[in-house]
Amino acid sequence: MSDALLAIGTRKGLFLARSADGGPFEIEPIQFSTVAVPSVAIDTRGATPRLLAGIEYGHFGPSVMYSDDLGQTWGEADKPPIAFPEKTEATLTRVWQLTPSPSEPEVVWAGVEPGALFRSQDRGVTYQLIEGLWEHPHRPQWQPGGGGLCLHTIIPHPSDPKIIGVAISTGGFYRSTDGGLSWEAANQGIRAPFMPEGQQYPEFGQCVHKVAMHPSRPDRLFLQHHFGVYRSDDFGGAWHDIGSSLPSDFGFPIVLHPSRPDTVYVLPLHADMDRTPVDHRYRVYRSDDAGATWQPFGQGLPAGPVYATVLRDAFTSSEAGLFFGTRDGEVYCSRDDGETWTLVGRHLPDVLTVRAAVL
């Protein structure tokens, strides 16, 4: 088995963990100590893997760092890598998402707060604003969610660079078929129960928490909403509820099995006003039939009680396994499709994001 790398971004630094030949993950000393790392990416497209980290320098502001030696050294662009043009009168608050494009070898997408999309053509060193989304007529009406007005999900099509989807809290899901020049809201069927009666299926304004796509079936998307779990079979043209049999349809992350496009995972929480795991136990719910039925798994996870949330980017899947991190600093791994779990690390800072890859 190949070596694997796990990147854990926390509120107080970045931790890298490595596994050799399928062995246990060993966490290395902290990097960017005391600095929040809300986004990471492991770009394995080139001959040399590149790590990307969206960091927050406190009063110096957000930035993006890159490493071509698996975290031994880090570089940064000579000028701020992500910056709003002066005419926008906007200021970068956070880099929420870093997503290498599967169909363009040098392209990396970045989703930021306040709700905007940036594109890099030098593999993540410098970025340019996608003005078509920034100038969308809906944007002035987008409202921030609890975490801010964040563009937190980027779904590039695996083979057609003109097709891309994004999710904004609380703008909803938007898609482009011309490489980002123009965008349309794609939220049909997503219920917003916090809206007045008769207005609960708006064109936009849904509080989408996360969207996932499997590269072998790009038209099918899975979505975790503030209230609800949904599936679309036409890249967001219409959404259908698949969460009615879950103990709760409130949660943050949603991920897909790395090789089985019908296998999807969620981590339900009690409710928006009680953001603790259902029954105060970490249980990962898996569906092997695209959301028709769900089964809980928790072997190896604490019996309870537990109270920490798993954030939208703190659950990931790759050929290295399934991984999630909690807001009380624990990280768990499954190498058997979620049926059993082992502890990777504990007593870390608040986990914001996890990413994993086979090297």
The two tokens of residue 25 are 């993950």
Q: Which residues contact 54 (CB under 8 A, 6 or more apart)?
A: 9, 37, 38, 39, 40, 62, 63, 64, 94, 95, 96, 97, 98, 110
What local confidence, expressed as pLDDT, does residue 46 receive?
86
**pLDDT beyond 90 at 211:** yes
The two tokens of residue 268 are 């339900």
Q: Are residues 349 and 12 in contact, defined by beta-carbon separation less than 8 angstroms? A: yes
Indicate the average pLDDT of the chain: 96
Sign of CA dihedral 89, 61, 42, 126: positive
Q: Prior bond to 202 cis, omega within 30?
A: no
pLDDT in tens, 213-223: 999 999 999 99
pLDDT in tens, 315-355: 999 999 999 999 999 999 999 999 999 999 999 999 999 99
What local confidence, expressed as pLDDT, does residue 194 receive?
81
* SS3 state of residue 279: helix
DSSP 32: S
Q: Which residues contact 39 (CB under 8 A, 6 or more apart)?
A: 9, 52, 53, 54, 95, 96, 97, 98, 110, 313, 352, 353
**pLDDT beyond 60 at 118:** yes
Identify the band that residue 58 occupies on the pLDDT scale cut at 50, 70 and 90: confident
**pLDDT beyond 70 at 45:** yes
Share of the chain above pLDDT 90, in %: 93
What local confidence, expressed as pLDDT, does residue 1 receive?
52
Which among 47, 46, 45, 37 has a CA at the least distance from the CA of 7?
37
Q: Which amino acid is at 135?
A: E
Report how many domains make up the chain: 1
Domain range enclosing 77: 4-358
CATH of the domain at 326: 2.130.10.10
253-273: average pLDDT: 97
